[in-house]
Amino acid sequence: MDARPVGAFDSGVGGLAVVRAFRQLAPAERVIYFADSAWFPYGPRPPAEVRKRAFAITHRLLESDVKLIIVACNTASAAALRELREAFPGVPFVGMVPGVKPAALRSKSGHVAVLATAGTLDGELYDRVVEQFGRGTKVTAVAGTGLADMVERGDISGPAIAARLEQLLGPAVGRGADTVVLGCTHYAFLGEAITRLFPSVEVVDTSEAAARRAVDLLCDADALSPGPGGLDLIVSGDRQRLRATMAALGFTPAEQEANR
Ligand code: DGL
């Protein structure tokens, strides 16, 4: 048993998709979520800058005595996961890796599209995952420029997001991609919009797999919490705006509970 909280962070609301999955699997856990909205978006920033934010946030979460940290952001995982593990060997980290492996296994056409930020697609982690799991599969990288901004505004359905998704994914789907990997945690909120637009396409969302990995690590270390569970938000930018976005994304008032 370990009653300490779990830490998680992202540039904004994206990582909350992972936190929501985690809290469904482990409702007795208290989560401290750091939304780095003052530095949003991470996607176009140089990796060194994102790494600096990841380290600063990790220090802040450790001040709150977290027992595990979920890097609930693909861009930050690409820029900093290895370095965080090296710098904090006593802290278990769970990071986000684009789901190329499940996508390659599920694709019937042998062509998958990975929708992610420029920071993720330019990183070495992405190359490694494609090299390791994408053999024999055509993997098309699609930079989701502007999508995370729309999610931050709560714009996850309607004509504007549909038009942008059509523009970004239409060419790959037209060339036979039958599986789309959501390689950015913000895009977890766009799964339904993608399916509506491209009904025959399968969407791969790794939010739940990452949440499950965190639960497994806690189980293995006998570090699950006896409760009570909850969610505390730390916001580097505008807290009211974050809460308004959470409401627009369908988080109930209970799910939005924030004590600090
Ligand atoms: N949610 C972040 C990710 O998973 C990216 C959004 C941003 O550009 O800040 O990559």
Residue 260 lies in a domain: no
Cα separation, 141 vs 206, whole angstroms: 17
What share of the chain in percent tops pLDDT 90?
A: 95
Q: So what's the pLDDT on residue 254?
A: 74
113 part of a folded domain:
yes
260 — pLDDT class (breaks 50, 70, 90): very low
Structural domains in the chain (count): 2
**Domain range for 25:** 6-96+208-248
The fraction of the chain above a pLDDT of 70, given in percent, is 98
130 and 48 housed in the same domain:
no
- Is 73 a pocket residue for ligand 1 (Cβ < 6 Å)? yes
Ligand 1 contact, 14 CB (< 6 A): yes
127 in any annotated domain: yes
Judge whether residue 172 has pLDDT over 50: yes
Counting ligand 1 atoms within 8 A of each CB, the residue from 186, 187, 242 with the most, and so the one to mutate, is: 186
Adjacent-strand bridge partners of 138: 111
pLDDT at 259: 46
Average pLDDT for 34-39: 98
Q: Are residue 176 and residue 87 in the same domain, yes or no?
A: no
Asked if 166 and 44 sit in the same domain, the reply is: no
Q: Are residues 13 and 79 in the same domain?
A: yes
Ligand 1 neighbour 151 (Cβ under 6 A) = no
CB of residue 37 inside a 6 A radius of ligand 1: no
Whether 104 is in a domain gets the answer yes
Listed in sequence order, the residues at least 6 apart from 170 whose beta carbon sits closer than 8 Å to its beta carbon are none
The pLDDT assigned to 192 comes to 97
Same domain, 28 and 69: yes
> What's the whole-number average pLDDT of the chain?
96
How far, in Å, from the CA of 89 to the mean position of ligand 1? 25
Cα 1 to averaged position of ligand 1 atoms, centre (Å): 33
- Closest ligand 1 atom, CA of 41? 9
CATH code, domain carrying 87: 3.40.50.1860
Within a domain: 131: yes
Give 257's pLDDT tier (boundaries 50, 70, 90).
low
Residue partners of 105: CB distance under 8 A and separation at least 6: none
pLDDT tier, 253 (very low <50, low <70, confident <90, very high otherwise): confident
**In this structure, which amino acid lies at residue 224?**
L
Identify whether the C-beta of residue 60 lies closer than 8 Å to the C-beta of residue 201. Answer: no
Q: pLDDT per residue over 94-126, tens digit each?
A: 999 999 999 999 999 999 999 999 999 999 999
**Looking at the domain assignment, is residue 225 inside a domain?**
yes
Atom of ligand 1 nearest to the CA of 10: 1
Q: Is 219 a catalytic residue?
A: no
| CA of 241 relative to ligand 1 center, distance in Å | 17
φ/ψ (deg, to 5) at 65:
60, 45
Q: Is the CB of 41 under 6 A from ligand 1?
A: yes
